[in-house]
Amino acid sequence: MSKVAIVTDSVACLTKEQVEKYGILVVPIKILFEDKIYRNGVDLAPSEAYQLLAKAPDYFSTSPSSPSDYTDIFRELAVKGQDVLCLTVSSKLSTVFNVASLAAEQVRQELPQSTIEIMDSKNATASQGFITQAAAQAAAKGNELSEVIKVAGIVRDRVHFLLALDTIRYAYRTGRIPKLATQVGSMLGVKPLLTISDGVVHLVGIVRTKQRGVERIIKAMRRKVGNHPVHVAVMHAAVPEEGESLKERISAEFNCVELFLTEVSPIIGYAIGPGVLGLAFYTLPPE
């Protein structure tokens, strides 16, 4: 058993293999559809969630986990004698950081011997997942909490993500594009390109076809990483074949030391829609 347990939320887009390999605990964020509540990744697979979103987008919304979802996990880990590092989706995109912080404080009061740290990933999707995985890898080596936090911080400072949307229809939900603009853009068929910086989603371009969007994000990644060894996650939203094709291309064109395919969490898909392709990636400084 590692000295440090790693906890995150379901926005991180971790694969089942990553979660099982490193024993990462994932707290599901909730999806609300019509009169039902689903736990993302537990009651509802991503592909099923995207079907609901396509069916009735106005009846599809999300809700953060409750403090009790975190206190139960934190308490169990603390009783086992493990320190806890919980990495959350950006605090500028969700209240998850605040919810987890409240839960941690409650458990610290109940169990004064417990050590629980909440870290704002300042990211989302697989870039958050990379930070979480790096922390879990450091924990698996037997490192103390301070070293695990340090490793997570290094990756947080270096990771990037880029998304090429298939439609602008849902993008007003990011808070970065007015709803009227998305309605007009949807009629014109424009496709936004998004990234994240300092925890906030930014519009970095608009293209007329998704293929042009994919070319743009590949070009942007090439500018940032060059020929350096790179860790890459290829992301898709309900288009696995397109995701696999992009993964094959990235494998052929870049020096990948890690490369995997994952589905964009429908918690994020709520604001970007199906059909998205994206890249999360980072390089490490020379040792």
- Indicate whether 164 and 146 sit together in one domain: no
Q: Work out the average pLDDT over 80-108.
A: 96
- Indicate whether 207 and 271 sit together in one domain: yes
Contacts of 243 (CB under 8 A, 6+ apart): 234, 235, 236, 261, 263, 277
pLDDT digits (tens, 9 = 90+) for 8-59: 999 999 999 999 999 999 999 999 998 898 988 888 888 888 888 888 888 8
- Indicate whether 234 and 110 sit together in one domain: no
pLDDT digits (tens, 9 = 90+) for 166-192: 987 776 666 655 564 455 455 557 888
At 130, which CATH number? 3.40.50.10440
- Indicate whether 78 and 91 sit together in one domain: yes
Quote the mean pLDDT of the chain. 91
- Indicate whether 91 and 174 sit together in one domain: no
Structure confidence at residue 188 (pLDDT): 55
Query: For the whole model, what pTM was predicted?
Result: 0.93
Q: Which of 123, 157, 191 is the last residue of a domain?
A: 157
At 265, which CATH number? 3.30.1180.10
- Indicate whether 16 and 130 sit together in one domain: yes
- Distance from C-alpha of 56 to C-alpha of 116, rounded to nearest angstrom: 40
Query: What is the secondary structure of the chain as a DSSP string?
Result: --SEEEEEEGGG---HHHHHHHT-EEEPPEEEETTEEEEBTTTB-HHHHHHHHHH-GGGEEEEPPPHHHHHHHHHHHHHTT-EEEEEES-TTT-SHHHHHHHHHHHHHHH-TT--EEEEE-S--HHHHHHHHHHHHHHHHTT--HHHHHHHHHHHHHH-EEEEE-S-STTGGGGTSS-HHHHHHHHHHT-EEEEEEETTEEEEEEEESSHHHHHHHHHHHHHHHHTTS-EEEEEEESS-HHHHHHHHHHHHHHS-EEEEEEEEPPHHHHHHH-TT-EEEEEE-----
